[in-house]
Amino acid sequence: MNIDSKNSKGPWRIFGNHSLQTMKIGPAVLSHRVFLAPMAGITDYPFRCIARSCGAGPVVSEMIASQALIRNSARSVRMVSTAEKEFPLAVQISGSDPFVMTEAALINESLGAAIIDINMGCPQRKIVKTGAGANLMRDEVLAGRVIESIVKAVDIPVTVKIRLGWDHKSINAVRIAKIAQDSGASLVTVHGRTRSQMFSGKADWSAIRKVKEAVSIPVIANGDIKSPKDAGLCLEVSKADGIMIGRGALGRPWLFDQILHFLETGKDKRPPGLEEQYAIITRHLEHIVDFYGPPLGLRLFRKHLAWHTKGLHGSSLFRKSLNNAKLLNEVRDLLECFYGALAAKQVTPGRLPLLRAMPDSDRA
């Protein structure tokens, strides 16, 4: 599934031809090739709704522990309960036992998942110590058994997300990708770091290119794509079939739209103004409160708002006020006052004056 770029004038033109925007994986037709990455505790249903509204194409659920899902954990079931209305949703599962992971994949399929994504890249200690996540890359035979077992059991496509390897002495992304392809996987996403790097250092996009050159299934590049120019450069260096955005979109879900615009035109698109940012944030608030209920929803919303307001003058004191707000209407009023005052100044985001109520020393 190579992307034909014969009419390209640069890496950004890779999506310029409308017929090239979609990607078909089994019965799932993906609207374009700029993916939202799975992020535990972040890419829940409300966040996915916002990301889609800001241009994200394929979206992947939070990582769901297979063992918890087959135990019918209420939290795990809720994480995938919206799959049918989100079609095509890729649901990511983690674990290391082929039988347990296969059972979890079947449950997700029955709940409406369009794609099963196997997590072989999570670097977190609590995950790898169970043999799951990036630890699966250390046992290539087991990794193959997990993929093959799930592929044989479900009628929907199976994809795999990996890293470059456990550490720089054990780079095996190419071998794992070949195993995934031979085991029936439809796509592989590669984060350009090792597990030992966690999220430090720079993602190695050239190493992702080696994976792309080794397999015929689509390869998606992930890691350090924080701007439209990063996206274009990553595609040029990695030769990947698409890109996956994670941390770069935190507090900036409109990054997807900016990246698509750049890839299609080669030109930068300004971020939305304060009024539009306020509309996006309040829409996210309503989604999250509607999904979780006010007490939990408001607690979860605070971390998103911290990302959204980072760099805005006066945001530190604003967040402190927000932490003391217990009711939904209080949060709404605080948001309206904060963004209303900033928007009234009619200045460029990122160079905002302090609110009059904020002390001069309070600079986030």
Over residues 36-90, the pLDDT tens digits come to 999 999 999 999 999 999 999 999 999 999 999 999 888 898 999 999 999 999 9
Residue 357 lies in a domain: no
**One domain for residues 116 and 69:** yes
Do 16 and 144 sit in the same domain of this protein?
yes
Number of domains within the chain: 2
List the beta bridge partners of residue 91: 116
Based on the fold, state whether residues 168 and 216 are members of the same structural domain.
yes
Last residue of some domain: 216, 239, 265?
A: 265
122 is a catalytic site residue: yes
pLDDT tops 60 at residue 351:
no
Higher pLDDT, 27 or 241: 241
Residue 26's pLDDT band (boundaries 50, 70, 90)?
confident
Give the CATH number, domain containing residue 191. Answer: 3.20.20.70
Residues 300 and 168 in one domain: no
What per-residue string of b and e applies to 74-101 under the rule 16 or more CB within 10 Å gives b?
Answer: eebeebbebbeebebbbbbbbbbbbebb
| Whole-number pLDDT of residue 154 | 98
Identify the pLDDT of residue 267: 92
Q: Which of 12-16, 234-238, 300-304 has the lowest mean pLDDT?
A: 12-16
Highest-pLDDT range among 22-31, 123-132, 323-332: 123-132
Please compute the mean of the pLDDT values over residues 97-113 and round it to a whole number.
96
Residue 304 tokens read as 């998103």
Residue 322 has pLDDT above 90, yes or no: no
| Residue 226 within a domain | yes
Same domain, 180 and 316: no
Q: Does 71 share its domain with 153?
A: yes
The pair of three-digit structure tokens given for residue 243, joined into one six-digit string: 């890109």
Residue 68 maps to a domain: yes
Q: Does residue 335 sit in the same domain as residue 192? A: no
Cα separation, 17 vs 268, whole angstroms: 18
Which CATH number do you get for residue 322?
1.10.1200.80
pTM: 0.88
pLDDT in tens, 242-287: 999 999 999 999 999 999 999 988 999 999 999 999 999 999 999 9
Instruction: Give the C-alpha distances (Å, rounded to integers) separating 242 from 31, 107, 118, 229.
Output: 12, 28, 18, 14
Last residue of a domain, one of 216, 245, 265: 265
pLDDT at 31: 80
- What pLDDT does 63 receive? 96
Give the pLDDT score at 15. Answer: 47
Domain that holds residue 282: 274-345
Per-residue pLDDT, 21: 66
Residues 61, 49 contacting (CB under 8 angstroms):
no
Look at residue 1 and tell me if it is in a domain.
no
Does 253 share its domain with 284?
Answer: no
pLDDT cut 70: percent of the chain above it = 89
Tell me, yes or no, whether 232 and 314 share the same domain: no
Give, in order, the Cα–Cα distances in Å from 360 to each of 92, 310, 323: 46, 17, 21
What does the pLDDT look like over 121-168, one tens digit per residue? 999 999 999 999 999 999 999 999 999 999 999 999 999 999 999 999
Name residue, tokens 């006010």.
294
Is 353 inside a domain boundary?
no
Same domain, yes or no: 252 and 108: yes
On whether both 130 and 56 belong to a single domain, the answer is yes
Asked if residue 288 has pLDDT above 80, the reply is: yes
3-class state of residue 342 by DSSP: helix
Residues 63, 122 share a domain: yes
The radius of gyration computed from the CA coordinates of the chain, to the nearest angstrom, equals 21
Q: What is the pLDDT of residue 50?
A: 97
How far apart (Å, rounded) are the C-alpha atoms in residues 335 and 137? 45
